[in-house]
A and B are shown apart, each in its own frame.
Chain A
């Protein structure tokens, strides 16, 4: 059974640029959630996708957007990058219920200069 994978591992962007992060969910999971973890803080919920539709969103601006594909993999897109977007971005997959256990990938470290 393959766990949650994310790509790339690290990337560096400059302010104003756009970035796409990718996540492959664990086998059998149809729900993907994205989190932002700033240095020294707990993860903050960005949004969740269930069967290709957005199914909940945290307190993040519209320049944070996402997609989920028929194979349940997902992308997180961030436009007009700001310095404060520098963080570890975590993807988690689950079987679909609200309180189901979420299984996390290793994360993508984004640095915005």
Chain B
């Protein structure tokens, strides 16, 4: 079965410093991987998507993620955090071998300190 582990439930950074949110996945075939962000009382917004093209994926708002098959990881990074980045972040795996659904990780809450 496919699964997603987000290694940190909460990450706190200072404004202007780098962000690293870690994600490891389990999937038998070649998965598609996504990062979504959820601001308080809002729906989920797509940040970026990997689908077996370039392993370094650039997303919106300066975020990017690198797919590493040997490490089964898809960590999310941003060079410089902004106050508006404070939110919940979800890593998602989807694999056609497992049917029509997305599997979400438990989420990482990002706090940005002034």
Give A residues with C-beta under 8 Å from B: 4, 31, 33, 35, 41-45, 48, 50, 55-56, 58, 90, 92, 98-99, 101-107
Contacts and interface: CB of A to CB of B under 8 A. Distances in A.
Contact of A56 (B45, B49, B99): B99
A4 B42 CA distance: 13
Given A56-B99, A102-B102, A42 B90 contact: yes
Nearest to B90: A42
B46 A45 contact: no
B102 A45 contact: yes
B43 A101 contact: no
Given A42-B107, A98-B94, A101-B49, A90 B101 contact: no
A90 B104 contact: no
A27 B103 CA distance: 24
Interface string B1-43: 0000000000000000000000000000001101010000011
A105 B32 CA distance: 21
A42 B104 contact: yes
Contacts of B43: 4, 90, 104-107
Contacts of B101: 33, 45, 48, 56, 58
B95 interface: yes
22 contacts: A4-B43, A35-B104, A42-B105, A42-B106, A42-B107, A43-B90, A43-B102, A45-B102, A48-B100, A48-B101, A56-B101, A98-B94, A98-B95, A99-B31, A99-B32, A99-B51, A99-B95, A101-B46, A101-B49, A103-B46, A104-B45, A107-B43
Interface string B85-114: 000001000111001111111110000000
B104 A44 contact: yes
Contacts of B36: 104
Contacts of A98: 94-96, 99-100
A41 B38 CA distance: 12
Name the residue among A56, A104, A106 with the largest chain B CB count within 10 angstroms: A104
A18 B96 CA distance: 33
Nearest to B99: A56
